[in-house]
Amino acid sequence: MAVNPSAIVIHVQRGQEGAAASDSPRTRKGVAILGATGSIGTSALRVLARQADRFTPVALTAHANVDALAAQVARWRPAFVGLVRGVVPRGSNWSSGAECLIAAATRDDVDIVLNAVVGAAGLPATLAALRAGKRVALANKETLVVAGSIVTALAAAHGGSLVPVDSEHSAILQCLAGRESHEVKRLVLTASGGPFRTWSADRIATATLADALKHPTWQMGSKITIDSATLANKALEVIEAHHLFGVPYDRIDVVVHPQSIIHSFVEFVDGSVLAQMGVPSMELPILFALTWPERVADNGVPQFDPVTLGTLTFEAVRTFDFPMLALGITAGQSGGSASAVYNAANEVAVEHFLAGRIMFGEIPLHVESALVALREMSGESLDALLAADAAARHHVNAQVGL
Ligand code: NDP
Ligand code: MG
C-alpha cells in the first residue's frame, strides 16, 4: 500500500479538533460501549464507575450474553441497550440484530464510542461512528486490519477521531506526544511472548486449549488470548500501528518483553528512545482513550513500584516457530485484501481451535492456505474487502469440512 510517512498521529490529532465530544454541552460525556459484557467492556465500566463525574454509559451492547447484559443494565440504566443475537427480555425496550451496534454508535447523546467488540463484526460500527463525527476509542483492532485505509480516511473526513485502546498503541501515542513524522525513526511494539514463549516448536504444534488459554500476564477474551499464543495478535497490532500512525512496515519492529511492563517504544531520529510503562491493566489505556489528550486522576490502578517489579527482560521473537507473525505482517505489506483475508481466516481457525475441531499447529496452515488461494482478490473498496473476508471464512470452513 502507498505509505504516507507524514500521517503519523494526524488522524488522531485532527479528531481532537472536530470530535463531537469537545462540542458537547453536557457536563458528562456519553459513552457507548459496544461489547460491554466482554473483558474490555467490563474493565471500561469499572473505569466509568470511578470517573462518574466525567462520563456516563448511555448505550451498552452485547452479542448473546443476556444475563450479563441485564445485570449491567440494572446497574447503569443506559438509555439504549442492544443485543446482537438471542431473545431480548420480555417487556424490555432493548434493540436487537447486528444493526443495534450502529444505532448505539450514532446516537446524539453518545460522544465517545468504545468499540470492544471482537472480530471484523466491529467494523460497521466503527465506520458509522466516524461518519457521525464521534470519537472512537478503539479496542477492536480488527477494524483497522480489515479496512485501515478506509477507516483512517473517514476519521479525517468527518472530524471524528480514532484513539487506540490497545496498550501498545496507547503507549506509542503517549510517546509520540505530537512529534513530527520526520523525527520518528522506528516504532517497537512489545509482546509478552504468550504462554508458549519458551516451548519447543513440536510441543507448540500439539498444545491443548487449556495450555493456550493460560496467558502469563493479561486476562482477556478467548479469541485474543489464542491470538497472543500464536502471535497473530502482534501481527494484527503491527498492521494497526501502520494505519494509526502512518509508519511504513519496515520501520515497525516487535520485541518480546515477558513482564508486560513496557508497553512499547518509539525511537527518534536522534537515537533517543521513549517508552511508556505501567502495570499490565487495560484500565489505564481505556481511561487514556476516553480523556486523551488530557490526563485525569484515577485511583483504580495499582501503584507502580519499580523496586518490586524485578528485572525487565527483552528477547528477539522466535519468528520461525510462530509463523502467524510473519504471515500477518507480510499480508499487511502486500496490501489489497490480504490483511482482511488474514484476519478472517484467523478468526475462523481460532473458532475451530476453541471448539476442539483443529490442533493449535493447524491455525497457521489454514490461514496460509486462505492467503494463497485468495491472493488475487481485490481490496479496492469496502465491498471488495468484505467479499474477501467472506471468501476467507468460507475457505477455512471448507478446509475443516464444514
Ligand atoms: P471478549 O470476548 O471478552 O468480549 C467481546 C465482547 O463483544 C462481548 O461483549 C461480546 O458479547 C461481544 N461480541 C462478540 N461477538 C460479537 C459480535 N459478532 N457482534 C457484536 N458483539 C460481539 O473480548 P475482549 O474484550 O478480550 O476483546 C474485545 C476487543 O478488544 C478485541 O478486538 C480484542 O482484540 C481487543 N483487545 C482486547 C484486550 C483485552 O485485554 N481483552 C487488549 C487489547 C485489545 P457476549 O458477551 O454477549 O458474547
Ligand atoms: Mg495489545
Q: Which of 11-25, 130-144, 228-242, 364-378 has the lowest mean pLDDT?
A: 11-25
Q: Is residue 385 part of a domain?
A: no
pLDDT at 150: 97
pLDDT at 84: 98
pLDDT at 3 over 90: no
Q: Is residue 62 part of a domain?
A: yes
Q: Is residue 299 part of a domain?
A: no
192-214: pLDDT as tens digits: 999 999 999 999 999 999 999 99
Candidate from 33, 39, 233 with most ligand 1 atoms within 8 A of CB, to mutate: 39
Q: Which of 73-82, 175-184, 322-331, 337-346 has the lowest mean pLDDT?
A: 175-184
pLDDT at 206: 95
Q: Is 235 helix (H, G, I), strand (E, B) or coil?
A: helix
Please, what is the Cα angle at 96 between 90 and 98, to 5 degrees?
165
Give CA–CA dist 347/388, Å, rounded.
13
Averaged pLDDT score across all residues of the chain: 93
Which residues, at least 6 apart from 363, have a Cβ–Cβ distance to it below 8 Å? 226, 230, 232, 324, 346, 349, 350, 353
42-63: pLDDT as tens digits: 999 999 999 999 999 999 999 9
Mean pLDDT value of segment 178-192: 95
Mean pLDDT value of segment 162-175: 98
Q: Which atom of ligand 1 is nearest to the CA of 35?
A: 9
Q: Is residue 49 part of a domain?
A: yes
Q: Is residue 175 part of a domain?
A: no
pLDDT at 10: 40
Q: Is residue 241 part of a domain?
A: no
The bound ligand whose nearest atom lies closest to the alpha carbon of 139 is 1
pLDDT at 301: 86
Give CA–CA dist 262/84, Å, rounded.
36
Q: Which of 101-105, 257-261, 307-311 has the lowest mean pLDDT?
A: 307-311
Which residues, at least 6 apart from 275, have a Cβ–Cβ distance to it below 8 Å? 171, 175, 262, 263, 264, 265, 266
Which residues, at least 6 apart from 131, have a Cβ–Cβ distance to it below 8 Å? 106, 154, 158, 160
Q: Is residue 46 part of a domain?
A: yes
CATH of the domain at 66: 3.40.50.720
pLDDT band at 26 (very low <50, low <70, confident <90, very high): confident
Share of the chain above pLDDT 90, in %: 90
Residues with CB under 5 A from ligand 2 (ion): 166-168
Mean pLDDT value of segment 76-105: 97
Q: Is residue 117 part of a domain?
A: yes
239-273: pLDDT as tens digits: 999 999 999 999 999 999 999 999 999 999 999 99
In the reported structure, the alpha carbon of residue 259 is separated from the centroid of ligand 2 by a whole-number distance in angstroms of 14
312-326: pLDDT as tens digits: 999 999 999 999 999
The bound ligand whose nearest atom lies closest to the alpha carbon of 121 is 1
Task: Please state the domain count of the chain.
Answer: 1
Candidate from 113, 117, 144 with most ligand 1 atoms within 8 A of CB, to mutate: 117
What DSSP assignment string belongs to 355-373? TTSS-TTHHHHHHHHHHHH
- Exposed e or buried b per residue across 386-397, where buried means at least 16 C-beta atoms within 10 angstroms of its C-beta: bbbbebbbebbe
Neighbours of 158 (CB within 10 A): 18
pLDDT at 281 over 70: yes
What's the whole-model pTM score?
A: 0.95
pLDDT band at 83 (very low <50, low <70, confident <90, very high): very high
pLDDT at 8: 39
pLDDT at 293 over 90: yes
Nearest CA to ligand 1 atom 22: 63
pLDDT at 245: 96
Share of the chain above pLDDT 70, in %: 94
Give CA–CA dist 135/137, Å, rounded.
6
Give the largest CA-CA distance in the chain: 63
Candidate from 47, 113, 118, 231 with most ligand 1 atoms within 8 A of CB, to mutate: 118
Cell numbers given for 111: 460522544
Sign of CA dihedral 367, 372, 373, 377: positive
Structural domain harbouring 131: 5-165
Whole-angstrom CA distances from 144 to 77, 126, 147, 288 are 31, 10, 5, 19
pLDDT at 25: 58
In the reported structure, the alpha carbon of residue 30 is separated from the centroid of ligand 1 by a whole-number distance in angstroms of 20
pLDDT at 22 over 80: no
Neighbours of 148 (CB within 10 A): 21
Using DSSP bridges, classify how beta strands 252-256 and 273-277 pair: parallel, antiparallel or unpaired.
unpaired
